Structure 1
Amino acid sequence: MIEDTGTTRTTPQGYRDVWRRSIDERDDFWLQAAGLIDWVSAPTTALTERSPTDYSWFADGTLNTSYNALDRHVLAGRGDHTALIYDSAMTGTRIRLSYRDLLDRVARFAGVLRANGVGRGDRVIVYLPMIPEAVVAMLACARIGAVHSVVFGGFAASELAVRIDDARPAVIVTASGGLEPGKAVAYLPLVQKALELSAGSVHTVIVRDRATIDGSAADYAGDPADDAAVRWLDWADAEATATPADPVTVASTDPLYILYTSGTTGNPKGIIRDNGGHAVALTWSMRGIYDIGPDDVFWAASDVGWVVGHSYIVYAPLLAGATTIIYEGKPIGTPDAGAFWRVVADYRVNVLFTAPTAIRAIRRVDPDLAELARHDVSSLTALFLAGERLDPETFHWVNDGLHCPVVDHWWQTETGWAICANPRGIQELPTKPGSTAVPVPGYDIAILDSKGAPITKPGKDGNIVIRLPLPPGSLLGIWGGADRFVDAYLTAFPGYYATGDSGHLDADGYLYVMGRTDDVINVAGHRLSTGSLEEVLTRHPAVAECAVLGVHDALKGQRAAGFVTLKAGSVVDHDLLTAELVNLVREHIGPVAAFRDVRILDRLPKTRSGKILRKTIRQIVDGEPYKVPPTIEDPAVLDALALAVRPPPTD
């Protein structure tokens, strides 16, 4: 692995030529990429622009995404190759499905949906745990032109009801429950409550029975003679008698799915993804970014409820003819900090894609990587990380331990695939710890100040924006109103998509994402990046992970407060550690940071995807009202945080 040494270097021209062509010869570039998938009617034009903010990709093309993910591989003679591996660390279950097996299950379940009145354009909510049926249900919707909306299994009934009322689905696909370490979460009472709270679009609930969890469709079935009652069907029974459905031809611009952004409440923001642009971009990305082809094993250790799960558990690996893994478990505790390495070894994984938070969790419990030594991970050609900022200390730790390329890349729910990455399938570039590398072909990135003027000085922070149009695979819009897309993303900086992130480009064109723009702290008029402060705190050998945020200060307006967790086995005096962390910030950032507040916690509150809930932490510290986010991994962590920052009075 080549690492930046601080000297100026020019980005190699192989990548630069490809990127430049994707911007200057956009139509030719993406029409060529469109040849990677099978079309019913091939598009003759890549980009159709009706206005600077209204455009579409491959508008005259027609296709079926499920056909591209399954049928074409079977027809090409690859039906016996493994498409999906299911590994449940919770139950010990391991299942392999070939492309032929998966196609059969998807076609049959598509027949179930069709028999229950679901057709092209109809919405289906998928409310399932990490089991093969989640993949089957999503691909079955795509097969008949229906629009799926995946909602995390176990989401609160009120949040599920909000999404039902926004998407207006005809059918909900669910299971009796999901499994978490040490407990089972029953889904059916939540679904029933959500139906009671919603406006009544749902007419059928299909339930995948899990023998280890109480609850079945029969428990909720109403009077069969009541035409107004919601029908509750058993998945296995319905699938056994279903007539397989053939793929339905849809327009490239037809919606494939709606995905609600995490933490949404009240008026949800449902990101719409199209069929054609999505299939082209994800197929191109598998080779261009991840260097993955047919028969390679790709594991995105995420959840289908997140965009990573949509793009890189379900669609992209299957579009590329690779093997994908759906894993029901955690990076630690199921049973130990070697869980990820065990899966890599068992299935000879070529590329692992996960969140930096997962790696930091492993580091905290197993700082010496003793568990890694028990497994043969020589098949691993790269580790890709995204979802949270990858601090340099964690980068060095995992890079030195794995001895394979570690790629920090950056993207969003809205984009659906990477904005910046080290494009290993084009040319592996030098690595710069702390950077998400370079813009992926199709993305034209700029840094603007608060007034929209370009910042051209290397290293100077500003608003990260993407010049319009966004490439294929990016959001088609927001469900329920075209104006919402423009208002939310395209108004702040005309001609650009506002990412909501801040950071800078260096002299070589490498991007450094330092945090959300609302995470910039204003201390007595000095603007400080939380990412820079967190980078300093993680230099301390006892710190496993941290969050820095701005809390209210009557004199300075805001002050920086640090919240840290310690590595397993670290025994340190908390007062001494606080003093050492304060001195580290003073040494590397300067006294302008006025940093003096450190809280040492057992755990940081996070979403189920591993993102630290910084806004909620700040609300608790400032004594503001807060709502427990529906995506939180463990609500009890918030109670512990509240006690830590505002301990109860003692008599």
Structure 2
Amino acid sequence: MAKFTFVKNNQTTNLHTLKEQQMKTIRTFEDYREAYDHSTRDPEGFWEEIAQEYQWQQPWDKVLDWNFDEPSIKWYSGAKLNITENMLDRHLKERGNKLALIWEPNDPKEKFVRLTYKELHEQVCRFANVLKKNGVSKGDRVCIYMPMIPELAVAVIACARIGAVHSVVFAGFSAHALADRINDAQCKLVITSDGLFRGAKEIPVKRVVDEALESCECVERVIVKERVGWLPNMVEDRDVWWDDEIKEADRDCPPEPMDAEDMLFILYTSGSTGKPKGVVHTCGGYMVYTGYTFRNVFDYRESDIYWCTADIGWITGHSYIVYGPLLNGATTMMFEGVPTWPDPGRFWQVVDKYGVNQFYTAPTAIRSLMAHKIDHVLSYSLDSLRVIGSVGEPINAEAWNWYHIHVGKERCPLVDTWWQTETGGVMISGIGNATPLKPTFAGYPMPGVQPVLLDGDGNEIQEDDVEGYLAIKHPWPSMLRTTYGDHERCQKTYFSAFKGYYFTGDGARRDKDGMYRIIGRVDDVINVSGHRFGTAEIENAINQNEKVVESAVVGYPHPIKGQGIYAYVICQDGGADEEILKAEITETVVEEIGKIARPEKIQFVRGLPKTRSGKIMRRILRKVAEGEISNLGDTSTLLDPKVVEEIISGADHVETIDH
């Protein structure tokens, strides 16, 4: 029988020993090879050892049960736990007075917030009791639509404490997009704020929620946290203030026993249809994997200050601001602001202010800062940094080198992490100082991850120095279990393209040393500043304009965002003013999805390149948008080949829209 720390009735005992096992940590390339060999030779044994580092209320009967056909994946079957015990309670004895969370506000003149593990535990318990008082119980879905303030993290953990399923929606999505996500999950309660600060802007968050809830009959209660000091509309018998509720709440809230395969959260991501997918992650496997990857990728040490600049509305924030760091007893930072306000040295000012040791951000942020004078970086020492990281999209060589030289001072390893909402945690990456680094290459697979490159027929490509479709052939603990309310969609999206594999949707290259470089999406998904949007989702918004007959959207290289959105639009006859129509289309996209989905370019066309069966040839549209018209391939089989010539001719006159 495995060695467990077994918790019952809040009293910790041990099946074999009271001494906590030394956590498995990779420090050298030899450590990595040993761990990776173990994980591929005996995956279940490897992940059982890692799982023994955590507290379980009841041990598992079986480590793994799976097939990729249905798909059905179960890790640690029969085990009981509460992830918040492992994030908070187990640290209280030795780390109770250690900083758990540092919050840096949007305005550097405003006072920051620091919470110890003891203080965070108390706040989580209080708010968990607030949730219960307001009718939330185990299994209920809770939508969180908030700015990056400490209460966002508290709300996430409090949901997990009582077994409620949280669905965090980035507080930049429109009311329509928010309503879609609330209705799909049938959320019972919404947590929000009066407004938010983002750079020099003040944004009315509660107003967006009110508009969304006009079409959400499932919501019974709204809890509002004051942030900007506005007086929003408060609906009687529905809306309550966070501060009024929490001051009366008890500071003790026992953790709800959860099955390892119970839902922990739903996180919505765009796909190839207009409807967002609710990716489901579960308690046990997600805990084990995010904890393990955080500790190793970032070479975390006990006294480190770790900072991930992402928003908790995305998977990066879930896994590597909240869950991963706190599972390791780390000090994690939350940042409310933006990298260029009040000046482009803001990131580096914060690094020096707190002595940040690990800094994790997106290529989009790096590219935006590269556009400013280097003095904004050189004005700060950045001596505390030990590891720097990249997340959200492949980082180009120019940005990689700038980041490595000017921020990392050529001494910090730059971990270029590849992973997805669906994977739950980092899959391919450098690991601290342990593994080699190569610009534009994510690196080696994490222990426990078995990637393969496939050809178009689904055959594994065994040799190196090749390109192919990136797939995973064996489950890992934090992988998605389903798409909420639509398991068939999960099967079709991730497990049907290549039978017996999880297909990532990305193409990749493996070099002669076995390192992986992510080439990009091979499906109809556009990655804007690390945020993925399905082309159909944007096209559906554009097509709502009564003057639009049809549209097709593709991504094209953007110097800051990685990819920009290029829309080809067919209009009704009638001589509509193109500039007015562009403004109307942009406004509709913002209303339906949010500002982050605005097209950079809109080209009005007579027709679209379609096959005789009616399929739009996006490959051709992408190449035109990229300016690579010399290699369009055979267009003679199209329904109307002349359309391509007209699109190419018109593309020369398309200007970027000034937002």
TM bucket, shorter chain: 0.7 to 0.9
Deviations 1:620-650 (Å, cap 9, x if unpaired)? 79999887366655577737999995369xx
> Are 2:301 and 1:287 aligned?
no
Structure 2 counterparts to residues 269-280 of structure 1, below 5 A: 269-280=277-288
Structure 2 counterparts to residues 49-448 of structure 1, below 5 A: 49=66, 53-74=71-92, 76-90=93-107, 92-198=110-216, 200-210=217-227, 212-216=228-232, 219-222=233-236, 224=237, 231-244=238-251, 245-262=253-270, 266-332=274-340, 334-366=341-373, 369-401=374-406, 402-403=408-409, 404-424=412-432, 428-448=434-454
Q: Decide whether the 8 Å contact of 1:154 with 1:178 is kept in 2.
A: no
Q: Aligned partners of 1:621 and 1:78: how far apart in 2?
A: 61
Distance 1:645 1:82, change over 3 A: farther
Q: Classify the secondary structure of the residue corresponding to 2:566.
A: helix
Q: Decide whether the 8 Å contact of 2:444 with 2:515 is kept in 1.
A: yes
Residue 398 (structure 1) shift = 1.7
Q: Classify the secondary structure of the residue corresponding to 1:126.
A: strand
Distance 1:434 1:618, change over 3 A: farther
> Are 2:604 and 1:628 aligned?
no
Q: Decide whether the 8 Å contact of 1:37 with 1:283 is kept in 2.
A: no
Q: Aligned partners of 2:139 and 2:518: how far apart in 1?
A: 37
Q: Decide whether the 8 Å contact of 1:293 with 1:321 is kept in 2.
A: no
Letter in 2 for 1:35: Q
Letter in 1 for 2:515: Y
Q: Decide whether the 8 Å contact of 1:195 with 1:202 is kept in 2.
A: yes
Residue 513 of structure 2: aligned partner: 508
Distance 1:157 1:564, change over 3 A: closer
2:47 to 3, 7, 30: 30
Q: Aligned partners of 2:493 and 2:55: how far apart in 1?
A: 34
Residue 180 (structure 1) shift = 2.0
Structure 2 counterparts to residues 607-618 of structure 1, below 5 A: 612-613=563-564, 616-618=565-567
Judge which range, 287-296 or 247-256, deviates more.
287-296
Q: Decide whether the 8 Å contact of 1:295 with 1:321 is kept in 2.
A: no
Q: Aligned partners of 1:288 and 1:183: how far apart in 2?
A: 37
Residue 564 (structure 1) shift = 5.5
Residue 42 (structure 1) shift = 2.4
Q: Decide whether the 8 Å contact of 2:127 with 2:158 is kept in 1.
A: yes
Letter in 1 for 2:200: G
Structure 1 length normalisation: TM-score? Answer: 0.78
Q: Aligned partners of 2:272 and 2:300: how far apart in 1?
A: 34
Structure 2 residue runs without a partner (length 5+) = 1-27, 528-534, 536-551, 572-577, 605-650
1:458 to 437, 461, 464: 464
Q: Aligned partners of 2:44 and 2:78: how far apart in 1?
A: 14
Letter in 1 for 2:150: P
Q: Aligned partners of 1:397 and 1:309: how far apart in 2?
A: 24
Q: Decide whether the 8 Å contact of 1:90 with 1:180 is kept in 2.
A: no
Q: Aligned partners of 1:265 and 1:174: how far apart in 2?
A: 28
Residue 72 (structure 1) shift = 1.2
Residue 526 of structure 1: aligned partner: none
Judge which range, 117-126 or 639-648, deviates more.
639-648
Aligned residue pair count: 540
Distance 1:482 1:644, change over 3 A: same
Residue 182 (structure 1) shift = 2.5
Letter in 2 for 1:238: E
Residue 169 (structure 1) shift = 0.9
Q: Decide whether the 8 Å contact of 1:159 with 1:265 is kept in 2.
A: no
Structure 2 length normalisation: TM-score? Answer: 0.77
Q: Decide whether the 8 Å contact of 1:162 with 1:266 is kept in 2.
A: no
Letter in 2 for 1:396: N
> Are 2:57 and 1:40 aligned?
yes
Letter in 2 for 1:182: A
Q: Decide whether the 8 Å contact of 2:505 with 2:521 is kept in 1.
A: yes
Identity of aligned residues (%): 36
Letter in 1 for 2:466: K
Distance 1:81 1:307, change over 3 A: same
Q: Decide whether the 8 Å contact of 2:68 with 2:502 is kept in 1.
A: no
Structure 1 residue runs without a partner (length 5+) = 1-10, 225-230, 521-529, 532-548, 550-557, 566-603
Residue 418 (structure 1) shift = 1.0
Q: Aligned partners of 1:444 and 1:620: how far apart in 2?
A: 42
Residue 15 (structure 1) shift = 2.0
Q: Aligned partners of 1:561 and 1:281: how far apart in 2?
A: 32
Q: Classify the secondary structure of the residue corresponding to 1:397.
A: helix
Deviations 1:414-465 (Å, cap 9, x if unpaired)? 00111101123xx612211111001111111111111112223433322111
Deviations 1:331-383 (Å, cap 9, x if unpaired)? 11x111211111111111111111111111111113xx312222231111111
Q: Aligned partners of 1:397 and 1:235: how far apart in 2?
A: 43
Distance 1:262 1:296, change over 3 A: farther
Q: Classify the secondary structure of the residue corresponding to 1:283.
A: helix
Distance 1:639 1:240, change over 3 A: farther
Q: Aligned partners of 2:273 and 2:247: how far apart in 1?
A: 38
Distance 1:343 1:161, change over 3 A: same
Letter in 2 for 1:45: K
Judge which range, 448-457 or 347-356, deviates more.
448-457
Distance 1:111 1:399, change over 3 A: same
RMSD of aligned residue pairs (Cα, Å): 2.9
Q: Classify the secondary structure of the residue corresponding to 2:77.
A: coil
Deviations 1:249-276 (Å, cap 9, x if unpaired)? 1111101100001478743200111111
